[in-house]
Amino acid sequence: MRIVAGSAKGVRLAPVPRGVRPVSDAAREGVFSSLAEHVQGARVLDLYAGTGAMAIEALSRGAEHAVLVERNRAAIRTIRDNLERAKVGDRAEVVASDVLSFVRSHDDSGAAADLVLADPPYGFEQGELEAVLAALGARTPAEGSRRVVLTRPKRSSTPVIPVHWLLARRLTYGDTLVLIFQEA
């Protein structure tokens, strides 16, 4: 895995820890091409951060700051290594937490984010994912409308989303389905 574009373009990321399924380079490139001008200066919230590749890609492309939330200790070590490799660690905060607990207890983080990246494990329990999305949807968006990027397995059902989220893009890469929502 490598960073696709921006200031850290070409940086090779650390090996993926066991149990983590990263978003492919091609999928990340497609996502960030679709987001285009919404990345520059954005405040990013990366849920289920895994290797940190999604947030690091955003930082490399000009995002202002990123909060990466992950509970797996090996993944957290990998995230910190990758932030250092890409030289973007000074604009990132790594939070060791369960995502649902984090979004429920940090009202300001979800509200302050311009861009939310959520890449839960494919085997993730649908009800818990919907609880995370509902908690995010209850937050008042930052200035303008926030973008929420959600990855799911291509053959899964679409989770229930907050009523004020509009599906802006639906992308597929291999077995990955990427849904980009815009909050209205």
> Which 3-state string (H, E, C) describes 1-57?
CECCCCCCCCCECCCCCCCCCCCCHHHHHHHHHHHHHHCCCCEEEEECCCCCHHHHH
Q: Nearest-5° angle of CA 29, CA 125, CA 101? A: 85
Q: What is the pLDDT along the chain (184 residues), one digit of tens a residue?
A: 899 999 999 999 999 998 888 888 899 999 999 998 899 999 999 999 999 999 999 999 999 999 999 999 999 999 999 999 999 999 999 999 999 999 988 765 555 788 999 999 877 777 888 899 888 887 655 555 789 999 998 887 777 888 888 899 999 998 889 999 998 7
The pTM for the full model equals: 0.92
> Has residue 174 been placed in a domain?
yes
**CATH code for position 92:** 3.40.50.150
Specify the number of domains making up the chain: 1
- Residue 126 lies in domain: 25-183
Asked whether residue 12 is domain-assigned, the answer is no
